[in-house]
Every structure is written in structure tokens, then in C-alpha cells.
Structure 1
Amino acid sequence: MQLTSTTDYAIRIICYLAAQRQMISTSELSQELSVPSSYIPKIT
């Protein structure tokens, strides 16, 4: 199955956030997951 990059980023972000027990900044999230920071506001 092929996913768009936005869908791939969204799935990775959701899984990562579900495992976190604390707040995380968008810049930290971008760096941890190697997701362009421009995608994060679209997804969250």
C-alpha cells in the first residue's frame, strides 16, 4: 500500500503522541520524527 507523505507523517505523529505522557513542542516533534515542521500544524 502506498501512502501520501502527509498520511505517513500523520500516522507517525499520532503513534508518537499516543506513547508520550507529557507535552512536546512542535519543533521537538519535528526533530524526533524527521517530519518537516510545516506539516505538523496541518496534522495536529
Structure 2
Amino acid sequence: AAVRESGASSKKDFGKTMKLLTERLAGQAEPRRISGLLAKLLV
């Protein structure tokens, strides 16, 4: 949902989407795990 919400369509949008996700998941997930999953989604 966050990927769609941020308008991300490629790895170029990684930073923008990562910022959104880290703010949303603060205290719930480690940024490294978020980053790994996001990299798989943005191909």
C-alpha cells in the first residue's frame, strides 16, 4: 500500500518510499528489514 501511495514505480523512488515506510513503521521494524523488502518490491 505504501509503494502505491508514494507513486513508486522503480528503484529511483526508493528513497521517497523508504522515508514513508520508516516513519510509518517506527518502532515496529528495523530499517534494514524494511529496506530489504522494499528493494525486492521495486524492481
**Shorter-normalised TM range:** 0.3 to 0.5
TM-score normalized with structure 1 length: 0.46
Q: Which has the larger radius of gyration?
A: 1
Greater percentage in helix? 2
TM-score normalized with structure 2 length: 0.47
